């Protein structure tokens, strides 16, 4: 029974880590984003993100690599504790939202936000590393189940027309109304 539960956990965490990798990449690349006010309300996602990395590491990663996950845990703990309260946290939230394209004459990238870029790239790297690690020991069935779980999750979140996720510059009117009109990096 314990072995079965461990394999179920492997499937769930493979799906979760690949979802987190793809979701972070989609936001980093500016493919799909959400208005800032909706991102602020989704702080529990970052708790899930941290929990997934922590549990995946504890259950499936050799202890000599735990330091990588410990750094990610510290990074996300700081984000969750200071969520939308401190300047660096507000910058990360704003940069990760649709409003980031309204600042600096439509240029999302700014030399002043290098810490946001590096932090996001580090997070993407951790999720990619864990995804690859999990893929090495997953069965074809587990991989297929993870793909199906991710397809369903993406369809109900980032690519759901009833949600406020949109491609920057092609937001529906109702999403534009949810965006903060006058925004800047604090």
The DSSP secondary-structure symbol of 71 reads H
Of 145 and 180, the structure prediction assigns the larger pLDDT to: 145
Which band of pLDDT confidence, cut at 50, 70 and 90, is reported for residue 33? Answer: very high
Using a 10 angstrom Cβ sphere, with 0-12 exposed, 13-18 middle and 19 or more buried, the burial of residue 66 is middle
DSSP letter string, 12-36: HHHHHHHHHHHHHHHHHTTSSBB-H
pLDDT of 165 higher than 90: yes
Which band of pLDDT confidence, cut at 50, 70 and 90, is reported for residue 41? Answer: very high
* Mean pLDDT of the chain, nearest integer: 91
Of 178 and 109, the structure prediction assigns the larger pLDDT to: 178
Torsion of CA 179, 46, 113, 165, to 10 degrees: -30
pLDDT of 23 higher than 60: yes
pLDDT of 19 higher than 80: yes
Radius of gyration of the chain (CA): 17
The pLDDT assigned to 116 comes to 83
Angle separating helix axes 114-137 and 66-81, nearest 10 degrees: 130
Rounded to an integer, the average pLDDT of 28-37 is 94
pLDDT tens-digit profile of 73-107?
A: 999 998 899 999 998 888 889 889 998 888 766 66
Which band of pLDDT confidence, cut at 50, 70 and 90, is reported for residue 186? Answer: low
Q: What ranges do the domains of the chain cover?
A: 2-178
What is the C-alpha to C-alpha distance for residues 185 and 18, in angstroms, rounded to an integer? 30
pLDDT tens-digit profile of 93-142?
A: 988 999 888 876 666 777 667 788 899 999 999 999 999 999 999 999 99
Q: At 97, is the secondary structure helix, strand, or coil?
A: strand
Helices marked H in 61-139: 66-81, 87-95, 114-137
The pLDDT assigned to 112 comes to 66
Q: Which of 166, 179, 182, 181 is nearest to 27 (CA)?
A: 166
């Amino acid at each position: 029974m314990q072995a079965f539960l461990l394999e179920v956990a492997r499937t769930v965490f493979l799906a979760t880590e690949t979802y987190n990798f793809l979701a972070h990449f989609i936001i980093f690349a500016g493919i799909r984003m959400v208005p800032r006010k909706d991102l602020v309300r989704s702080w529990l996602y970052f708790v899930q993100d941290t929990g997934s990395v922590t549990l995946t590491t504890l259950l499936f990663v050799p202890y000599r690599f735990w330091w990588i996950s410990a750094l990610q845990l510290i990074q996300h703990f700081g984000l969750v504790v200071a969520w939308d309260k401190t300047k660096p946290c507000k910058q990360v939230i704003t940069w990760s939202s649709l409003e980031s394209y309204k600042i600096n004459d439509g240029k999302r990238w700014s030399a002043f936000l290098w810490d946001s870029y590096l932090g996001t790239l580090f997070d993407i790297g951790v999720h990619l590393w864990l995804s690859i690690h999990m893929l090495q020991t997953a069965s074809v069935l587990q991989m297929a189940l993870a793909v199906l779980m991710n397809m369903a999750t993406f369809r109900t979140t980032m690519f759901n027309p009833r949600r406020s996720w949109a491609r920057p510059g092609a937001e529906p009117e109702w999403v534009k109304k949810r965006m903060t009109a006058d925004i800047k990096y604090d």
